Structure 1
Amino acid sequence: MHLARPEPGPSRRRHGAALEAALLDAAWDELTERGYAALTFAAVAQRAGTSRPVVNRHWPSKEALVRDAISRAGDRFSLVDPDTGSLRDDTVALLEQLNEAFTMFAAVMTAQLAAYYEETGTTPAELRASVVDRRWSLIESVMRRAAARGEVDGAKLTPRIARLPYDLLRHEVLMNLKPMSSSDIQEVVDTIFLPLIT
């Protein structure tokens, strides 16, 4: 899970977005390798080739640093609107795109973040909402298009049913800590999701 990055030299000076990106990447690597409890600002600074006060200037707490590091890691998996002309094919394509991202986050959220939840009094659902739900507008637009085409009954697309295939994907990944197979994704869409809304 650790993504190898070139170690910056001690004399290398970065500012603004470049410095923040290096710090967040270092925090992500510390989180995945050592877990939330062992993550320190000093270790993040050393990995990023800078000093601890630099990290302190950017983030007031370890909680805020970790949340931003997870968000940056999630941004590497942006969703692309498949727009195939079919809700079935659009949903399969979106689930395929999310499959790898869910697998990555499942390993971190289950193995490395227990101390984070205890310290902050938050839940995995709250962290997911701050990271994953930003992509929900694209998923909603795919479903609105299908309803406008008359492909599905829009009245049946309740929030819970609309989220069902994505919730099932997340559950499978969390339970197995590996991506869902393409055939399983298609089964979820064809035998569970579409019959509920057509």
Structure 2
Amino acid sequence: MSVTDSERLPVADGAKRRRGTALQHAIFDAVFDLINEIGYARLTMERVALAAGTSKAVLYRRWPDKEALVLDALRESLPTIPEVSVHGNLRDDLLAVLEVVRSAFAMTKGTAFHLVAAEAGGDCRALANERVFAPAHDAILATMRRAAERGETRPELVTDLVADIGTALLRSRAIDGEIPPETLVTAIVDDVLLPLLSSAR
């Protein structure tokens, strides 16, 4: 749901007015900043309007309540898990998928992603699963199957449980309000997944 170009921010005299995409970005940034600062439960349309430099009337013309606003902010911000990369080796494929998952936390400013997924109810949780976690699970599982076909891992290690380890570790770091760094993705792959998947093959 986009903000039309005709809707402008009522900012102070002399300040540059934003509209359209710039307005929408300001609103969504305010949503994630506030969730980081005060949590989802205390988020209100009034606080979002104040933080974005706009009015509640502008928000209510687009979204009926904060749940719809947060859902739309997530929908516009979450990345899409790409098709399984074919690098010819397990390490590079795992790195590629988990980096996209990591970017989901970065694009929603760290704790916002976890807080919304945990507190905002079924719709936001379902969207996060649909856009990020379920596709990541499928991509990692496919990557492990290809690795088993190449002899890089044993077929019995290609399980749903193992496929969820990387994303679970990334999510656990976000609980502490931290955007997982790129180095964490590398550590998960090199120190956890590869030793596990290459064990006693």
Q: TM-score range by the shorter chain?
A: 0.5 to 0.7
- Taking structure 1 as the reference length, the TM-score comes to 0.64
Amino acid at match of 2:94: T
Kept in 1, the 8 Å contact 2:105–2:113? The answer is no
Give the counterpart of 2:28 among 15, 24, 41.
24
Does the alignment pair 1:45 with 2:49?
yes
SS in 2 for 1:50: coil
For normalisation by structure 2, the TM-score amounts to: 0.63
Asked whether the 8 Å contact 2:90–2:147 carries over to 1, the reply is: yes
Aligned residue number for residue 3 of structure 1: none
Change (3 A) 1:176 1:195: farther
Higher RCO structure, 1 or 2 (CA under 8 Å, sep 6+)? 1
User: Which runs of structure 2 are paired with 1:12-161 in the superposition (5 Å)?
Assistant: 12=17, 14-15=19-20, 17-75=21-79, 83-99=86-102, 101-102=104-105, 107-108=111-112, 117=119, 128-130=128-130, 132-133=132-133, 135-136=135-136, 138-140=139-141, 142-143=143-144, 145-146=146-147, 149=150, 151-152=152-153, 156-161=157-162
CA gap 1:185/1:105 in 2 versus in 1, 3 angstroms: farther
| Unaligned 5+ runs, structure 1 | 1-7
Percent identity between the two aligned chains: 34
Aligned-residue CA RMSD in angstroms? 4.1
Q: Bigger CA drift: 25-34 or 79-88?
A: 79-88
Call closer, same or farther: CA 1:154–1:21 in 2, change over 3 Å: farther
Which secondary structure state, in structure 2, belongs to the residue aligned with residue 132 of structure 1?
helix
Structure with a larger share of its residues in helix: 1
How much has 1:47 moved relative to structure 2? Answer: 2.8
| TM superposition shift of 1:9 | 6.3
